[in-house]
Amino acid sequence: MGHPAAVRPSSAFTTVDYDKPGKQIGFVMIPHSPHEDAWGVTRVPVGVIANGKGPTVVIEGGNHGDEYEGPITIGELIRDLDPGEVQGRLILMPAVNAPAAMAARRTSPVDGLNFNRTFPGDPRGTITEQIAAYMTDHVLPRGDAFIDLHSGGSSLDILPSAIIEPTDDPELAKRNVAAVQAFDAPLTVVISNLGEPRTATAAACRAGLVTVGTEMAGGGKVSLDALAICRRGVRNVLAHLGVLESRHASPRRGDGLILELPGPKAYVFATVKGVFEPFHANGEHVREGQPAGRIHNILDPGREPETLHYQADGIVYGRRQPGHVEPGNCCLVVAARYEGSIA
């Protein structure tokens, strides 16, 4: 269990007692004084289920407010799990980025920030930075393991998968891989976010927590298939960690194959403004240099479309959902067989 060198002063408080046995449902309260509410708070929902001795597992959903399978799954755990079924403690946060979740947006409507690019946060910063700081200083240090449930959100449709967050700690890397494979998603993918250190999973690894991520479909909707995978996978991991009995786990389905996003070459970015026409569906095998799709200028029909090409061999892992694109938008993502070391 990781511990910060010092807890930064914060005005956040909570209506639950993390050390109390049983089941509690309440809020993390962060004072917020906008024009409409002089002495109000931003409320981040939290459930705590604790019983006996065992690890503490933090499960987070709603990191982005337009991703829904995780929040549904966590809400069901809060309602359905009896404390007697648990050995250890669950800290359950179905809508951690509460302002974004209420607005069904990737970023917060309050400060425009992407919660998953703000860690370790700032307890004296904007609302998004304060929530990240609370997670960094008060939630992750209590945990032994962290499950961060994502999907592709409004802009991407991604093949349902469990995600390995790279770490420089070899022992933690082994435990991460074991936990992610226990989730037993159709795909297991190593995603480094191009080395981005400000994500929740990167912060959890720095704190020494066994860390599991997911990408559960997307497209701004609830996928029934992905939701079933998410429900089953979370219970599989909790059984793997010993928080739930083995009867809560499902028989293994996966083949153990690990994929990765091979750096910048994994991505196909829009080069011009227009309407993107993809050439392949998710899951199709593609080759480096192969045409990936084209961008149409519908206001200038005499202009030939701009053709985009893949930069890596692999399978189409994710596709942009909205047809309209601007230069720099992510249109396609390719996942390749992982050949390297996890650590």
For residue 314, the model assigns a pLDDT of 98
CATH classification at residue 301: 2.40.50.100
Query: What does the alpha-carbon distance between residue 342 and residue 172 come to, in Å, rounded to a whole number?
Result: 10
Mean pLDDT of 173-197: 95
In a domain, 192, yes or no: yes
> Mean per-residue pLDDT for 60-76?
97
Per-residue pLDDT, 154: 95
Q: Is the N-terminal amide bond of 55 cis, ω within 30° of 0?
A: no
116 by Cβ neighbours in 10 Å (0-12 / 13-18 / 19+) ranks as buried
Separation of alpha carbons 124 and 295, rounded Å: 44
pLDDT confidence bin for 116, thresholds 50/70/90? very high
Please state, in angstroms and rounded to a whole number, the distance separating the CA atoms of residues 172 and 59: 18
Q: Are residues 184 and 84 in the same domain?
A: yes
> Are 211 and 178 in contact, with CB atoms under 8 Å apart?
no
227 and 290 assigned to the same domain:
no
21 or 341: which leads in pLDDT: 21
> Cβ contacts of residue 322 below 8 Å, gap of 6+?
154, 155
pLDDT for 342 equals 63
- Per-residue pLDDT for 285 more than 50? yes
**Which has the closest alpha carbon to 43: 66, 17, 64, 14?**
14
Structural domain boundaries, residue 77? 13-260
Same domain, 200 and 87: yes
Question: Looking at 260, 292, 321, which one is the last position of a domain?
Answer: 260
Indicate the pLDDT class of residue 343, thresholds 50, 70 and 90: low
The answer, as to whether pTM is greater than 0.85, is yes
Asked whether residue 73 is assigned to any structural domain, the reply reads yes
Per-residue model confidence (pLDDT) at position 252 = 84
The model's pLDDT over 211-223, given as tens digits with 9 standing for 90+, comes to 999 999 988 999 9
- Residue 7 covered by a domain: no
Judge if 142 and 21 occupy the same domain: yes
Q: Would 171 be classed as within a structural domain?
A: yes
Asked whether the predicted pLDDT for residue 240 surpasses 50, the reply is yes
Report whether pLDDT(4) > 70.
no
Identify whether residues 193 and 280 lie together within a single domain: no
Scanning 199-270, the segments in alpha helix (DSSP H) are 200-206, 224-241
Residue 182 sits in the same domain as residue 329: no
What is the band of 251 on the pLDDT scale with cuts at 50, 70, 90?
A: confident
Structure-token pair, residue 32? 């917020």
Structure confidence at residue 2 as a pLDDT band (50, 70, 90)? very low
Q: Report, as an integer, the average pLDDT of 192-200.
A: 93
Residues 49 and 183 in one domain: yes
Specify the pairing of strand 187-190 against strand 156-164.
parallel
- Count of structural domains within the chain: 2
Would 51 be classed as within a structural domain? yes
Contact 112, 99 (CB under 8 A): no
Q: Are residues 186 and 203 in the same domain?
A: yes
* Proportion of the chain above pLDDT 90, given as a percent: 91
Residues 44 and 147 in one domain: yes
The pLDDT score that the predictor gives to residue 5 is 53
Give which of 52, 72, 55, 99 is closest to 240, Cα–Cα: 55
Q: Are residues 303 and 178 in the same domain?
A: no
